[in-house]
Amino acid sequence: MSFSPRPVRLARGADEPQQACPIGVCDGSGWILGPEDVARPCECRERRLARRRARGVASAIPRKYRGVSLDRPPISDMERDPRRAPVYKAVKGYVEGIEERLDEGEGLWLMGDVGTGKTSLAMLVSKAAVEAGRTVAIYSLPRLLSRIRRTYDAEAGEQSYLEFFERLTEVDLLHIDDLGAEKRSDWVLEQLYAIVNERYESQRSVVVTTNLDQAPLEEQIGPRTVSRLVEICNDPLPLYGDDMRYAV
């Protein structure tokens, strides 16, 4: 009687190339072998676990902004514009120290008229966070609220409101564009306060853009939410000048 050899099953991923450690410390396994063959977790392990927990939120940089850079227009043009140079300098400092800023839970609040470069600067910050291996969620306010509403009708196996809320509040950086753009309602006030307050209490960074000054924004989204944004982001960075889109 002849026997066929039993096939050997490889562990999942064993036949795939090992990913390099994003911080250059371990061998890519997420563990560091110390004295007496005792292993300890590498710092990258927690970041990889954080990325898994963040699945289900919008984290991709929109195509239009994937090339944003301090050295390319329209952002590089801001450095030479006296009205925008102070904000350019502040954002540059944030981006260059992105790891420390996110670790400290510091944010940015960009305020100004349409076309003054707020979204480009905010996307630059989000891009820097992604390139640093950190978790990011990027939403315009209308899209974020629409995404929350969809969780109310989630079927079995789909992401529930609580799951989405937890992932949204656990990422290293939450980027909200067009804050104050949604029609005011008790439901909108409740959602924004819950998100911002959770990130405020857990000391996690937020970057927001808005066309509204502080007083109108308080009227639109509530003074409690704005107060916490000031705590996270410090004073708003005002952008002045003409609509840069017309100059293209």
Inform me whether the pLDDT recorded for 166 exceeds 70: yes
Best-predicted range by mean pLDDT (7-16, 206-215, 233-242)? 206-215
- If one compares 172 and 152, the residue with the highest pLDDT of the two is 172
The pLDDT, as a whole number, for residue 60 is 85
Side by side, the strands of the sheet bearing 136-140 are: 136-140, 173-177, 205-210, 108-112, 237-239
CATH number, domain at 122? 3.40.50.300
Question: Average pLDDT in the 114-118 region?
Answer: 89
Question: Pseudo-torsion of CA 225, 206, 136, 139, nearest 10°?
Answer: 50
The pLDDT, as a whole number, for residue 45 is 63
Q: In terms of Cα–Cα distance, which of 164, 240, 238, 170 is closest to 203?
A: 170
Q: Do 148 and 163 share a domain, yes or no?
A: yes
Distance, in Å, from the CA atom of 84 to the CA atom of 65, rounded to the nearest integer, reads 19
The pLDDT, as a whole number, for residue 169 is 93
Residue 26 banded pLDDT, cuts 50, 70, 90: confident
Q: For the chain, give the mean pLDDT.
A: 84
Residue 13 banded pLDDT, cuts 50, 70, 90: very low
Q: Do 204 and 101 share a domain, yes or no?
A: yes
The answer to whether residues 199 and 102 touch, using CB atoms and an 8 Å cutoff, is no
Tell me which amino acid residue 10 is. Answer: L
- Range in 6-20, 35-49, 163-177, 209-223 with the lowest mean pLDDT: 6-20
Residue 152 banded pLDDT, cuts 50, 70, 90: confident
Distance, in Å, from the CA atom of 93 to the CA atom of 53, rounded to the nearest integer, reads 29
Q: Do 134 and 172 share a domain, yes or no?
A: yes
Residue 209 covered by a domain: yes
Residue 63 covered by a domain: yes
Tokens of 21: 């450690």
Question: Average pLDDT in the 3-31 region?
Answer: 55
Q: Which domain holds residue 208?
A: 58-247
Q: In terms of Cα–Cα distance, which of 177, 171, 233 is closest to 65?
A: 177
pTM: 0.77
Q: Do 162 and 68 share a domain, yes or no?
A: yes
Q: Do 42 and 93 share a domain, yes or no?
A: no
Q: Do 49 and 64 share a domain, yes or no?
A: no
Residue 9 covered by a domain: no
> Which of 53, 76, 98 is the endpoint of a domain?
53
Tokens of 55: 């699945």
Question: Tens digits of per-residue pLDDT, 43-89?
Answer: 766 666 555 554 656 678 999 999 999 999 999 999 999 999 999 99
Residue 2 covered by a domain: no
Q: Do 47 and 152 share a domain, yes or no?
A: no
The pLDDT, as a whole number, for residue 6 is 42
Residue 199: Cβ within 10 Å count? 23
Total domains in the fold of the chain: 2
Contacts of 72 (CB under 8 A, 6+ apart): none
Distance, in Å, from the CA atom of 97 to the CA atom of 8, rounded to the nearest integer, reads 48
Helices (H), the chain: 43-53, 75-79, 85-96, 98-104, 118-131, 141-152, 161-170, 186-201, 214-221, 223-233
